[in-house]
């Protein structure tokens, strides 16, 4: 069941990861580094993607019976 939730929610997580990676890379180049985890674009983007995966899994789990 968990594997099915992960597979069905992975698209949103990948989209958030890539969007954050591009956006934060541009932001870091312009000199605005505040808000980054450990001053790392990759770490911050990974964290955002992980949170998006968890949120989408929870939404799909709780709305599956509706």
pLDDT in tens, 7-45: 989 999 999 999 999 999 999 999 888 989 998 999 999
Q: What is the SS3 assignment for 5-40?
A: HHHHHHHHHHHHHHHHHHHHHHHHHCCCCCCCHHHC
Residue 55 has pLDDT above 70, yes or no: yes
């Amino acid at each position: 069941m968990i594997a099915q939730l992960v597979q069905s929610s992975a698209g949103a997580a990948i989209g958030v990861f890539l969007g954050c990676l591009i956006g934060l890379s541009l932001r870091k180049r312009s000199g605005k580094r505040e808000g980054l985890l450990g001053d790392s674009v990759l770490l911050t983007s990974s964290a955002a993607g992980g949170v998006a995966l968890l949120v989408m899994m929870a939404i799909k789990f709780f709305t599956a019976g509706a």
